[in-house]
Amino acid sequence: MRTTDAEIDPDAERELLERFEATVGRSDRIEPRDWMPEGYRKTLVRQVAQHAHSEIIGMQPEGNWIGRAPSLRRKAILLAKVQDEAGHGLYLYSATETLGVSRQELTEMLLAGRQKYSSIFNYPTLSYADVGTIGWLVDGAAICNQVPLCRTSYGPYGRAMIRICKEESFHQRQGYELLMTMMRGTDEQRAMVQESVNRFWWPALMMFGPPDADSPNTARSMAWGIKRNTNDDLRQRFVDMTVPQAEALGVTLPDPDLRWNEARGHHDFGQPDWEEFTQVVKGNGPCNAERLAHRRRAHEDGAWVREAALAFAERSAVQQEKAS
Ligand SMILES: [Fe+2]
Ligand SMILES: [Fe+2]
């Protein structure tokens, strides 16, 4: 059982903290049974829960197109992808539960707007090309963010990320393949892809979070081994990875400042509209209200499943007791 700081005398706590820091310093994993500073636990709960919520809310923009997929093949791919996201949400809720918070509490916090999810899912999906663009850019950005998290210091989170990353690369590939197919099609299809990329490029860059100078928690998260790279490092990595893919596709990324910088060995690029980002995070994005309303409705519609599962568990317990 987890002990709280209040129950430990200062000398013992110092020793526990030293042991914790040594474990993190060796890049070993912290496990649920280990003592951890309360700030570490709280930061992880916030980050892992936000990640779990993003997977679940992230099912909505693409789920919107399942009933309108252009072919059986596209429908099968999209269904598989959206179902994977549900699975990711569940692994991550389970990882959060090892930190002493129940999935029910996390769900309530999401529905009450007290925990966030990724800002990207507050943008609408207006054409089937968006399914491809989300796979390519949004899952692509998620991979950049998540691959380093496979080495995060908290064991259950890191292990969940290893499984998730394998599936994310399928998501990225299916999106790219869809866009490539459209780019080989008609002028109208090529225009659909370009229009979609124009809408998603900047929100995809925002997925890495605010610039490092405005991200006060980054240093602490890195010292604890929760984060392995800064927001700006990851954003740069994503841009460098994506530019040659855009060239191969034949689409233009909508940034007049985007160019290769020989001296740095990286691409220079413009800044997203950070005011827009702040507004979307605050709940004022184009689809925030719709996403939460949909999630609330789904939660209410699922009430009978939770009641039935509870009744079954109670009855099984009574039967087992009788039998013994
Ligand atoms: Fe995912
Ligand atoms: Fe994904």
Higher pLDDT, 7 or 203: 203
Is residue 8's pLDDT more than 80? no
pLDDT at 217: 84
Q: Per-domain residue ranges for the chain?
A: 19-323
Q: 154: which DSSP letter? A: B
Ligand at minimal distance from the CA of 81 is 2
Confidence of residue 35 (pLDDT cuts 50, 70, 90): very high
List the Cα angle 77/78/81 in 5-degree steps: 90
Query: Across residues 64-71, what is the average pLDDT?
Result: 96
How confident is the prediction for the chain on average, in pLDDT? 95
Please list all protein residues whose beta carbon sits less than 5 angstroms from ligand 2, which is an ion: 139, 168, 171
Ligand at minimal distance from the CA of 164 is 1
pLDDT digits (tens, 9 = 90+) for 88-132: 999 999 999 999 999 999 999 999 999 999 999 999 999 999 999
pLDDT at 97: 97
> What would be the CATH architecture of the domain defined by 19-323?
Up-down Bundle (1.20)
How much distance in Å is there from the Cα of 146 to the middle of ligand 2? 11
pLDDT at 9: 84
Query: Across residues 247-274, what is the average pLDDT?
Result: 98
How much distance in Å is there from the Cα of 85 to the middle of ligand 1? 4
pLDDT at 160: 95
Q: Where are the beta strands (DSSP E) in 221-302?
A: 259-261, 266-268
pLDDT at 324: 86
pLDDT digits (tens, 9 = 90+) for 12-30: 889 999 999 999 999 999 9
How much distance in Å is there from the Cα of 242 to the middle of ligand 2? 17
pLDDT at 1: 46
List the Cα angle 214/215/217 in 5-degree steps: 145
pLDDT at 291: 97
Query: Across residues 82-91, what is the average pLDDT?
Result: 97
How much distance in Å is there from the Cα of 144 to the middle of ligand 1? 12
Token pair for residue 305?
Answer: 């499943």
In contact, 291 and 60? CB cutoff 8 Å = yes
Three-state SS at 152: coil
How much distance in Å is there from the Cα of 218 to the middle of ligand 2? 24
The helices-and-strands tally (H runs, E runs) of the chain is 14, 2
pLDDT digits (tens, 9 = 90+) for 151-179: 999 999 999 999 999 999 999 999 999 99
Confidence of residue 219 (pLDDT cuts 50, 70, 90): confident
How much distance in Å is there from the Cα of 181 to the middle of ligand 1? 23
**Identity at 143, one-letter amino acid code:** I
How much distance in Å is there from the Cα of 273 to the middle of ligand 2? 24
pLDDT at 242: 98
Is residue 3's pLDDT more than 60? no
How much distance in Å is there from the Cα of 81 to the middle of ligand 2? 7
Confidence of residue 4 (pLDDT cuts 50, 70, 90): low
pLDDT at 296: 97
Q: Where are the beta strands (DSSP E) in the chain?
A: 259-261, 266-268
List the Cα angle 245/247/248 in 5-degree steps: 65
